Chain A
Amino acid sequence: MVGAGYNKKVLEHFLNPRNMGKMDDADGVGEAGNPVCGDIMFLYIKVDEKTDRITDIKFETMGCAAAIATSSVLTEMVKGKTIEEALRITFNDIVRELGGLPSIKLHCSNLAVDALKNAIDDYKKRSGYKKKI
């Protein structure tokens, strides 16, 4: 199975996605994407208030193989990081972690970054988070 120019790692994350599912007691939920382009991601995070670390993260994605793979690999990259560290992850980091994506699929990695940012924003809003001085 060649899979439309996807490399082995992308296909692996597509066929065996990590951290897939809904989190009912999430501390933050981020939604990204739109039906017009065809990819929609939901990211759920659990954050330890004291350390600011993202202790658990899950995703649900309706989208192409690249969208599912980027969601999956993002959750692996984010789990255990602090909010600050997580916000520094760029779409290039995700693409590099996957070993590359076909150029028409690069926007999927942008989607993952958006979903993460939205999840963190949601957490900050819910928890009344104030940046430590």
Chain B
Amino acid sequence: MKVYLDNAATTRMDPDVVSFIRPFFEDVFGNPASIHCYGREAMKHVEEARSNLANCINASENEIVFTSGGTESDNLAILGIARSLKHKGKHIITSKIEHPAVLEACKQLEKEGYNVTYLPVSRDGVVNVDRLNETIRKETILVSIMHVNNETGSIQPIEEIGKVCRDNDVLFHTDAVQSFGKLNIDVKRMNIDLLSASAHKFHGPKGIGMLYVRDGLYLHPIMYGGHHEMGLRPGTLNVPGILGMMKAAEIAYKELDKTHAHIKRLSKKVVDGILGSIPESYLNSPSPTDVDEGRDNRYTRWYPGVVNIRFSFIEGESLMLLLDKEGIACSTGSACASGSLEPSHVLLAMGLRPEQAHGSLRFSMSRFTSIDEIDYLLEKLPACVERLRKISPFKNAEALDRFIRKHHQRYKT
């Protein structure tokens, strides 16, 4: 059986989206920037998509810019605002758990002479809003804090963050790549000035995303060329992509409640099943017992579609490969699988020790995930963990602690 539990990485396209966009490859192929009838027809559909997508987040259609995806939207928001407001100030606040698209854009700004504060997070992976308030100063021009974290599913209090930013006259950008299409977002109520989203995270095509930019904000572009997207983002519009994103968003928001209930059910089965059957396994995501359940039966601090669990005494990439051999796809916070030597910066920021971060796996679900897939995971996982524990030199916490104490001086963290 093949089981796909890596929906936080990317999602399968909804078949209805696939069939919906087909005409835009074959018939409505004009360049929307062309003034002839082929172009005008394509543009008509693009503008309908723009309007529909804006409605999803209570924005206006002139506030939506189409990009190639979440990474570009994050870059455009952060670099674009920072460079246009540098006469006003050069201080930016973000968090330690952001996606590399945000962190690297901030690092680039540091090279350009900006100051960036990376706010710490709690054990639950949540930013402290009072601390944010204290960190804002006269020179602060932008706060960028993600809505839902891609590794653990932790939800930031973005409505409170938005209010603090508005009260302090600082712009607020949120990377909503993991939340758009999954949670309700109202940019007006939440005081959001910029928002990034990416279609392939909610069953749309890859290579298309959007950036919401509140009316009246001026950004420097990060690409140069034609006059598309109000001069903010040159390049011929990806018409099939845009229409695919529109359709995917429409389905996602129409099915929002039903999907959330389904995912919550699956998520509970995963968490209870794993923690109940595998000793020395722990939930890294905010535990639902520790957080309030909102009136709409949603957890307020955790999006349950992203389940991050650590397994003591073993390493994540090897566990991921054993699961892969069984046909199960998931992801890991271990460095080994990421191309660097450092484990997940998100898990470390939440206070996990390096070996705990290295021993973590992420299972992420979608509305296409079935209960059978979860049953199969729960059937195969224990033997995989046991196999690696037999190979590991550490059979209990004391042995691991002894090793760490013995070699402590040699470690640089």
**A residues within 8 Å of B by Cβ?**
1, 3-4, 14-15, 17, 20, 22, 31, 34-42, 60-68, 104-105, 107
Give the contacting residue for A36; candidates B315, B317, B388, B412; CB below 8 A: B412
Q: Are A63 and B336 in contact (CB under 8 A)?
A: yes
16 contacts between A and B (CB under 8 A): A4-B321, A20-B391, A31-B393, A36-B343, A37-B341, A37-B354, A38-B315, A38-B354, A39-B336, A60-B392, A60-B393, A62-B355, A62-B388, A63-B315, A63-B336, A65-B318
- In the bound assembly, the distance between CA atoms of A41 and B341 in angstroms comes to 16
B337 beta carbon closer than 8 Å to chain A: yes
Q: Are B321 and A14 in contact (CB under 8 A)?
A: yes
Instruction: Enumerate chain A residues within 8 angstroms of B318, measured Cβ to Cβ.
Output: 14, 63-65, 67-68
- In the bound assembly, the distance between CA atoms of A1 and B325 in angstroms comes to 6
- In the bound assembly, the distance between CA atoms of A42 and B406 in angstroms comes to 14
Give the contacting residue for A20; candidates B353, B390, B410; CB below 8 A: B390
Given A14-B318, A104-B339: A62 touches B325 (CB 8 Å cut-off) = no
Using CB atoms, name the residue of chain B closest to A2: B324
Give the contacting residue for A35; candidates B324, B337, B393, B411; CB below 8 A: B411
Q: Are A64 and B315 in contact (CB under 8 A)?
A: yes
Within 8 A of A (CB), among B321-341: 321, 324-325, 334-337, 339, 341
Given A64-B318, A65-B318: A35 touches B404 (CB 8 Å cut-off) = yes
Instruction: Enumerate chain A residues within 8 angstroms of B339, measured Cβ to Cβ.
Output: 104
Using CB atoms, name the residue of chain B closest to A105: B336
Known pairs A14-B321, A64-B318. 8 more at Cβ < 8 A? A1-B321, A31-B406, A35-B353, A35-B411, A36-B411, A62-B315, A63-B318, A64-B337
Which size bracket describes the interface of B in this complex?
A: 35 or more
Q: Are A36 and B354 in contact (CB under 8 A)?
A: yes
Name, among A31, A63, A66, A107, the residue most crowded by chain B CB atoms within 10 Å (CB to CB). Answer: A63
| Distance to closest chain B CB from A24 (angstroms) | 13
Instruction: Enumerate chain B residues within 8 angstroms of A15, measured Cβ to Cβ.
Output: 325
B403 beta carbon closer than 8 Å to chain A: yes
Instruction: Enumerate chain A residues within 8 angstroms of B411, measured Cβ to Cβ.
Output: 34-36
Q: Are A61 and B324 in contact (CB under 8 A)?
A: no
Q: Are A31 and B407 in contact (CB under 8 A)?
A: yes
Instruction: Enumerate chain B residues within 8 angstroms of A62, measured Cβ to Cβ.
Output: 313-315, 355, 388, 391-394
Instruction: Enumerate chain A residues within 8 angstroms of B337, measured Cβ to Cβ.
Output: 4, 64
Using CB atoms, name the residue of chain B closest to A36: B354
Closest 9 CB pairs of A and B: A64-B336, A35-B355, A60-B393, A38-B358, A42-B393, A64-B317, A62-B392, A35-B354, A36-B354
Within 8 A of A (CB), among B62-81: none
Q: Are A67 and B315 in contact (CB under 8 A)?
A: yes
| Distance to closest chain A CB from B315 (angstroms) | 5
Q: Are B334 and A38 in contact (CB under 8 A)?
A: yes
- In the bound assembly, the distance between CA atoms of A62 and B353 in angstroms comes to 15
- In the bound assembly, the distance between CA atoms of A42 and B313 in angstroms comes to 13
Within 8 A of A (CB), among B363-413: 388, 390-394, 403-404, 406-407, 410-413
Using CB atoms, name the residue of chain A closest to B412: A36
Instruction: Enumerate chain A residues within 8 angstroms of B406, measured Cβ to Cβ.
Output: 31
| Distance to closest chain A CB from B392 (angstroms) | 4
| Distance to closest chain B CB from A3 (angstroms) | 5
Q: Are A68 and B391 in contact (CB under 8 A)?
A: yes
- In the bound assembly, the distance between CA atoms of A64 and B324 in angstroms comes to 14
| Distance to closest chain A CB from B56 (angstroms) | 37
Give the contacting residue for B343; candidates A14, A38, A41, A104; CB below 8 A: A38
- In the bound assembly, the distance between CA atoms of A40 and B411 in angstroms comes to 13
- In the bound assembly, the distance between CA atoms of A128 and B342 in angstroms comes to 39
| Distance to closest chain B CB from A113 (angstroms) | 16
| Distance to closest chain B CB from A30 (angstroms) | 11
- In the bound assembly, the distance between CA atoms of A17 and B390 in angstroms comes to 11
| Distance to closest chain A CB from B391 (angstroms) | 6
Q: Are A60 and B403 in contact (CB under 8 A)?
A: no
- In the bound assembly, the distance between CA atoms of A17 and B393 in angstroms comes to 14
Using CB atoms, name the residue of chain B closest to A44: B393
| Distance to closest chain A CB from B388 (angstroms) | 8
Q: Are B407 and A3 in contact (CB under 8 A)?
A: no
Q: Are B325 and A65 in contact (CB under 8 A)?
A: no
A-contact bits for B233-276, CB 8 A (1 contact / 0 none): 00000000000000000000000000000000000000000000
Q: Are A40 and B354 in contact (CB under 8 A)?
A: no
Instruction: Enumerate chain A residues within 8 angstroms of B358, measured Cβ to Cβ.
Output: 35, 38
Q: Are B392 and A61 in contact (CB under 8 A)?
A: yes
Q: Are A34 and B394 in contact (CB under 8 A)?
A: no
Give the contacting residue for B391; candidates A35, A60, A66; CB below 8 A: A60
Q: Are B341 and A107 in contact (CB under 8 A)?
A: yes
| Distance to closest chain B CB from A7 (angstroms) | 14
